[in-house]
Structure formats: structure tokens, C-alpha cells
Structure 1
């Protein structure tokens, strides 16, 4: 059950948030600043790259690794493909990783771990060394993974853990994503793979702080876009429709954090393909919903049925050739409620920060204000 009244009472909301999820999201800007400082101290700004890598290979534990690879792909200038490696094994600690056969000295391996204790990732560093593939890792200093990367003369970028917490609790660390992504943004920018200059990376923290100001617990629901979205998604299956590479990455991450934080399923698809992909689902639900004008229907035996809500992600308000008008028309035709999220414009990195931070807040509000939590 979702207690919407909790959103209007900051004190009750704070008591319900026993794991500090909202505090973690609000501190994302601070985590970015700390991550940039640690990356600079680790030597990122002093790198003198000899050309660009052929491929970026990303390996890491947890859903944040997938999202980091997805966002890097969306922000990439197109000069270097990003490939996410997937392991085999029953758990993260027992995962076995293998480099593709074509990997060699022209490629760069990026390892992501807020713990740095996974033996499979440490073994992957050894594989890369035998192939002549350079390795870099974002992981806690002095962790086994950091030591393994240092031994092969790779670059170990310290993971910026939450304040007062020497070890990262991935389940409750809602700011871990930015602490993992930021050092890689600095590294790929130095390699010429990202078009964001250093000043824009520092401005990223300011953007996250601005979103936290608009979406914080003290802001009333009617002026708080994250609380509004959380309330709209109560008891609904979200259909996350997106237009643009950055918006698509944000929608896929929102589906991930909804499942991880609030235990809510969601379906994501890119426009215009989403219209055909989810159209039959909308039509099927609409066809099996009881007719509200049928006065004699059996209301006692009537089930609530499946309720859906479309969340439309856009990188900017409607542009020429946008599929957003068609999405609105289809939503209206099937009586499907629709929410819209659009960044106010700016660079791709600024747009990503706006969309990702707002939806992080919404997922946490859903989790905290629900009586049953994952």
C-alpha cells in the first residue's frame, strides 16, 4: 500500500526513510564533487593518451554497471563503441568473467565495483594483462580489485563512498551510481571519447543539487515533480516511452531503480517503436476493463484489473519530427493516463542529470511511502 499523505509530512517521511535513501539521492551532487577530486588526485588530468581505444569494455557488479555502460554509450561522441560484458555464475561474488576473443592492446577495460572484492573481476584484470589490454577500475582504494589493477600498471580510480561509511552498502546507497559514473566520465573525456569538458563535469554536481532542491522532501507534492510522479505511478504498471539516446538510457535506468528500490515492475521502449510494441497491451487491457456505463454489472466480483500509465521521456520539449504527439494520441485513444518528463535543454550530460536525478527521487518516494518494501 502507498501512503500518499506521507509525502506531505517531511517529519513522518524522514522517520519512514530508516535507510537514508532520500538523503543518499540528495547528496548525489556532493558525491560527484568528491569523485572528481579523487579522480584528479589519482592522475586522470595528467594522462597523455596516445590515440583513442578501439572499444570500451565495461564489467561490473550490480545493476549500476549496466546503467553506467548505457549512459556512457548515450553520451559517447560515436568514436568508440561501448560493450557491456556479462558474467556467468549464481552470485556476484561467484561470477566468472571472460573477455571476448578479439580483445587486444587496442581496447580499454573499465571495471566497476563499489566493493572491489569480487574475485571474478580480479581474474578479468589478469586476462586483460595477458592480452595487452589496458585496465582501469572505479573501486575503493586498497580493495583487492584496486591492487590488481595497480599491479598491471592500470589506473585505479577511488570510489567515493558515502560520508561516514567506509564500505558501500549497495542496497541502500542511492548515490552510488553517480560515484561510479563520474570518474569514468572524467577518464573518457580525457581520452577524447566524451565531448564534455572538465568545467561541464563540475557543473554536473550543480545540476544534481538543483534537482534535489526542486524534488526534496520539504517541497509540497503539487510543486514537486518527483513526488507527483511517484503518486501517479501508485498501483500502475509504468510504460516508459522515450525519444532520444539519453532519454532512452534514463528510461531504462528508471525501470531498474523502480524494481530495485520500490519493488515495482516497469516496461521501457523507445519511440516510435513503443507505439506498436505496447499498443496491443493497451488495447488488451482496455478491452477487458469493465464498462463504467454498465449500471447492472457485478461490482462485488469485479476485479480492479491492470492499470497502466505511460511516462514519456523527452530530451527537450517537442521538436520537429517528434513522435510525442502520436504517443499522446495513442494514450488518449486507449484511456491510458500519461505523465511527461522533459529536460529544459542543454548538453547531453545536463539532460541526463535532469532525467536520472528526478526519476531517482521518484523511485525512492515510492519505496519510502509504501508499507511493503523490497
Structure 2
């Protein structure tokens, strides 16, 4: 069972081994700026499109687009995860395809159906790519992507949908700046007393992570952070609603004061630690749920690791919460002497 070595969080050799992932996280803002610069002409073109009867989004981060648009979108909105399109989609509707790998067979089929039915079609993809070659045309608006970052492409697509008056304002530069702030705050060159991500990693060192986000976007971030923590630690990490987490926390016995703090617990004996993602947008029900979680955790002597990012727009706050959690996952893997995963966490 790996023992968490907190000295590795400031060890130059250990940090050098994790440099590829830390560097990728640090460059998230730059990737958004790159994609936004590539999309200047496409963003101008979407402003000329008429309002559709409905919006259907397919591909990576479709659910993030839904989370941001659903509260304010003036027309029906659907995040579509399957091959093809629903039968009712036609010429009055807008189909949005996020295809940053450019060659997904299901997304190509979805785009083909949209074009056959005469739907408005916007595709974010590399150029050239299989989907651009097969589905591109005069009536298709292409948002060129270059970095392969699915979240960066989604940010630009959300900015395009705002120009069509289908969603809230999204400023790619502001989102990029939010990523940059987290990169500065969570820099590997800052020790644990100044680095919130290293502090979270310490809090999760020997724990079973439970992750909660109160708002719709914080909840979305909680699922992504839980995925990263699972990959980083090899442990179960659960992201869930407050009612489900209260049931888990309520079944934890208070900590035994005579437990040996240096004894490595077995997986079934790991105590949970609660990670709370707070974007500062919660209503009274959300705040009440957070207080309930904190109260149960305190009574059972369960560590609470708060992550707060309350400045900027909704997507800026989502970016701040997500990125802090991803940095924490890297530092957790580092302290456990596990290989830092190389798949794109975004």
C-alpha cells in the first residue's frame, strides 16, 4: 500500500517527473487564447444565423455546454450522446458538433444527418480532418481547432452560441485568465503553506475522496475532479449529490482517539475526506446542503477540503474549481509515488 510522502511535493526530481502534466495544466489558458484567435472569422459568421427552433449539441463537453445554456437558452436544448440525431431534428434546428479529434465515426454520422436534413450546422474540429473533409461545405460553419483541448473548443463554441443570443456571455480571454490565476496559485514552486492544491493533496493523502459541488457547474466540475482523483490515487472517488453524500458520511463512526496515525489503513478502513467545490453562486437550498455536509463531517471528525473560486463569470468559476482539483490530483499522485496519468483530464 503506497504511503503518502509529503516531502515529494517540494522535491525537484519528483516535480520534474510530473512536469508534462503540470505544464499541460499551466498552459490551459494559452490553449483557449489560441483557439479563440483561430475562430475569429467563424465567430463573425455565426452572428448572421437566425434563431433556431432548438439546439442539439453532440461531442466532447456537450454536457458542459448544456449546464451553462439550459438556465437561459430561449429555445429547447439537448445534449445528444448517441450516434445520429433524434427523428424530429430538421431544417429549423441548429446542430452543434464538438469534434476536436476530427475523426470520430459517430460524430461524422451525426454531422452527415444534420446536413441531409438541412439543419444549421456548426462544427468545431481540426482542419484538415476527416469530419471537415466529409461534412464541410458552404452551409456549414467550421470553427477550426488546433490544440486538441476539448474544453478550449467548448469555450469558443459557447462564445459563438452567445453571439446567436442562445446563451450567457462567455469571454474566452476571461476564462483563460481564470486558468492562469490557478496556474499561479498552484505552481509547483509554491510550498504547501501557499499552494491550495498541495494542501488538498495532503488532506486526501490517506483518505477516500468524496467530492461535492452545489451549483450545476460546480457539480459538473466535481465529477471531473473525482475522475482525476481516481486516476491519481487508484482509489474510489465519489462525486454525488448532497443527499447521497450525507448517507455516506452519516455511516462513518467518529474517529478513535487511540488510532495509530502512522499505521497505513487498509482500503476498506480508509476514512473519507470531503472536497467541497464552491463557486459562490449557491442559493439558500445549496447553502443549506453545504452546511449539512459540513455539520455531519465535523461530528464524525471527517476532514473537509474546501475549494473556492468566486470571481468572474459562471464559466470562469467552473474553470477555477476544475483546475484547482486537477492540480490537487497531480500532487496526490506525486506524494503516493504513482505515475501521473498522461490522458487529457480536461
The 3-state SS of whatever aligns with 1:216 is coil
The whole-number CA distance in structure 1 between the counterparts of 2:30 and 2:101 is 20
- Which residue of structure 1 aligns with residue 253 of structure 2? 286
Aligned residue pair count: 332
1:247-278, CA deviations, whole angstroms, 9 ceiling, x for partnerless residues?
A: 112112212333355544322223xxx1x322
Q: Check whether the contact 1:247–1:315 (CA below 8 A) recurs between aligned residues.
A: yes
The 3-state SS of whatever aligns with 1:44 is helix
Question: TM-score scaled by structure 2?
Answer: 0.85
The whole-number CA distance in structure 1 between the counterparts of 2:273 and 2:130 is 45
The whole-number CA distance in structure 1 between the counterparts of 2:265 and 2:74 is 59
Q: Check whether the contact 2:98–2:123 (CA below 8 A) recurs between aligned residues.
A: yes
The whole-number CA distance in structure 1 between the counterparts of 2:233 and 2:28 is 19
- Which residue of structure 1 aligns with residue 6 of structure 2? 4
- Structure 2 unaligned blocks of 5 or more: 342-346
The 3-state SS of whatever aligns with 1:115 is coil
The whole-number CA distance in structure 2 between the counterparts of 1:50 and 1:141 is 22
1:23-58, CA deviations, whole angstroms, 9 ceiling, x for partnerless residues?
A: 0100011001101001114x2124334433333323
1:91-119, CA deviations, whole angstroms, 9 ceiling, x for partnerless residues?
A: xxxxxx12111222232222223321222
Larger mean CA deviation between 312-321 and 50-59 belongs to 312-321
Q: Check whether the contact 2:90–2:119 (CA below 8 A) recurs between aligned residues.
A: yes
1:194-250, CA deviations, whole angstroms, 9 ceiling, x for partnerless residues?
A: 2215xx322222221111111111111111111111221223222212222221121
RMSD: 2.9
Q: Check whether the contact 1:135–1:149 (CA below 8 A) recurs between aligned residues.
A: no
The whole-number CA distance in structure 1 between the counterparts of 2:235 and 2:108 is 33
- Which residue of structure 1 aligns with residue 344 of structure 2? none
Q: Check whether the contact 1:36–1:186 (CA below 8 A) recurs between aligned residues.
A: no
Larger mean CA deviation between 139-148 and 22-31 belongs to 139-148
Tell me whether 1:255 sits opposite 2:226 in the alignment: yes
The 3-state SS of whatever aligns with 1:193 is coil
Tell me whether 1:23 sits opposite 2:19 in the alignment: no
The whole-number CA distance in structure 2 between the counterparts of 1:354 and 1:59 is 25
- Which residue of structure 2 aligns with residue 313 of structure 1? 277
Q: Check whether the contact 1:317–1:342 (CA below 8 A) recurs between aligned residues.
A: no
Structure 1 position 319, deviation (Å): 6.6
Shift in CA distance, 182/102, structure 1 to aligned 2, threshold 3 Å: same
- Structure 1 unaligned blocks of 5 or more: 88-96, 162-167, 169-175
Q: Check whether the contact 2:123–2:143 (CA below 8 A) recurs between aligned residues.
A: yes
- Which residue of structure 1 aligns with residue 91 of structure 2? 105
